[in-house]
Amino acid sequence: MAKIGILGAGAWGIALGLVLHKNGHQVTMWTCVEKEAKMLLEDREHKTSLPGIQLPEDMKITMNLEEAVPGMDLVILAVASKYTRETAAKLKNLVVPKQKLLNVSKGIEESTLMTLSEIIQEELPGTDVSVLSGPSHAEEVGRGIPTTVVVGSETRETAHYIQSLFMNDVFRVYTSPDIKGMELGGALKNVIALAAGVADGAGYGDNTKAALITRGIAEISRLGIKMGGNVSTFNGLSGMGDLIVTCASMHSRNRRAGILIGQGKSMDEAMKEVNAVVEGVYSAKAAYKLAQKYHVSMPIVEQVNQVLFEGKNVNQALKDLMSREKRDEIVEGWIK
């Protein structure tokens, strides 16, 4: 049995906590939101984010980081990406060298263009930081629906250790050394999911969504490979797999927000109606900045930014994508 602290008691943190509890581990959930802590302690259920799923009585809920970090075999950061740096900074006097930390959120910091694991390593040097990603909606993981994810670590030893903590008959875990590629795939797919949702909301069809998904992964791969990621990562669970589930499911906050924008609502109105963190909105600007920094063509990301932040008409954005200059999909292999 391992002792595991989970920082962030939203839907994803709880869902992973339930997986680990099922495997016989001692789980402590931390939240800094008093209302959330009270609800979880009294009702043993997150009625807003994960309704209908009960927390075991022996799963500890706390607002005290000193009860969730020191002495833990693994500390999981499951806070929204915009709070990753703030949360990591609070741990400076609580973690020890080589302590295992696992980031399970997805995003890129707009001001620095750093991935979340890079932020954690900057704030907590000397710790052993891994990431978990893949097609995994909390609503399904919490109910025990079969799910497959990937753990990325710098060493095989750490990856296999975390894999062994999570693996069971409904939660399968693969391992990878490509932390950078996994994080880029996880963050950038949210931007493409916004585009897919916008297309749905505007009344376009399956052909349009399929085009956005496949050309979206092409954009993600171009940037990811330029930044040092492995092409296999973008074709795998944390790349194409995560992109498909996020673009296709109504569990996806990014897709739901996109649908509302496609129906004519502003970005702020859509985020308010979804009533949850829409990570793609925060990652969109960072993705465009990375595209410019690395001189990579990302036309879908560019149009998403114009729709979100410049008020561009959705139909005009799609028209501009469709009317771009002619291109080859595959360049190599022509006989003449």
CATH number at residue 50: 3.40.50.720
Tell me, yes or no, whether 336 lies in a domain. no
The pLDDT assigned to 236 comes to 97
Stretch 88-102: mean pLDDT: 97
Average pLDDT over the chain, rounded to an integer: 95
The pLDDT assigned to 279 comes to 86
pLDDT at 132 over 80: yes
Q: Which residue has the higher pLDDT, 282 or 60?
A: 60
The residue range of the domain holding 312 is: 180-322
Residues 3-14 as b or e (16 or more Cβ within 10 Å = b): ebbbbbbbbbbb
Burial class of residue 35 (count of CB atoms within 10 Å of its CB; 0-12, 13-18, 19+): exposed
- Last residue within a domain, chosen from 158, 177, 196: 177
pLDDT tens per residue, range 187-196: 999 999 999 9
The pLDDT assigned to 53 comes to 95
Token readout for 138 is 């909390």
Could you tell me the pLDDT band of residue 335, with boundaries at 50, 70 and 90?
confident
pLDDT at 276 over 80: no
Asked if residues 15 and 138 have their Cβ atoms less than 8 Å apart, the reply is yes
Q: At what angle do helices 179-201 and 116-123 cross, to 10 degrees?
A: 130
Indicate the pairing of strand 3-7 with strand 45-46: unpaired
User: 38 with 162, same domain?
Assistant: yes
Which element (helix H / strand E) includes 52? strand 50-54
The pLDDT assigned to 310 comes to 94
User: 161 with 44, same domain?
Assistant: yes
Lowest mean pLDDT among 144-153, 204-213, 262-271, 295-304: 262-271
Tell me, yes or no, whether 333 lies in a domain. no
Helix boundaries (H) for the chain: 11-22, 34-43, 84-89, 116-123, 138-141, 156-166, 179-201, 206-226, 231-234, 242-248, 253-262, 267-274, 279-293, 299-310, 314-322
Could you tell me the pLDDT band of residue 277, with boundaries at 50, 70 and 90?
confident
The pLDDT assigned to 52 comes to 93
The pLDDT assigned to 278 comes to 85
189 annotated active-site: yes
- Last residue within a domain, chosen from 120, 147, 177: 177
Tell me, yes or no, whether 332 lies in a domain. no
Could you give the C-alpha distances from 270 to 69, 95, 244, 257, in angstroms and in order? Answer: 36, 38, 22, 5
User: 33 with 172, same domain?
Assistant: yes
d(CA 254, CA 279): 7
Could you tell me the pLDDT band of residue 30, with boundaries at 50, 70 and 90?
very high
Token readout for 59 is 């799963």
- Of 261, 259, 98, 281, the closest CA to residue 187 belongs to 281
Asked if residues 61 and 32 have their Cβ atoms less than 8 Å apart, the reply is no
pLDDT tens per residue, range 323-334: 999 999 988 888
pLDDT tens per residue, range 205-214: 999 999 999 9
User: 265 with 313, same domain?
Assistant: yes
> DSSP characters for 298-316?
-HHHHHHHHHHHH---HHH
When divided into structural domains, the chain yields a total of 2
Tell me, yes or no, whether 327 lies in a domain. no
pLDDT at 128 over 90: yes
Indicate the pairing of strand 100-103 with strand 128-133: parallel
Stretch 75-99: mean pLDDT: 96
Could you tell me the pLDDT band of residue 145, with boundaries at 50, 70 and 90?
very high
The pLDDT assigned to 242 comes to 96
d(CA 70, CA 218): 42
**Catalytic residue from among 180, 189, 209, 285:** 189
Tell me, yes or no, whether 122 lies in a domain. yes
User: 199 with 312, same domain?
Assistant: yes
- Of 233, 280, 286, 274, the closest CA to residue 80 belongs to 280
User: 115 with 249, same domain?
Assistant: no
- Of 321, 308, 320, the closest CA to residue 198 belongs to 308
User: 145 with 189, same domain?
Assistant: no
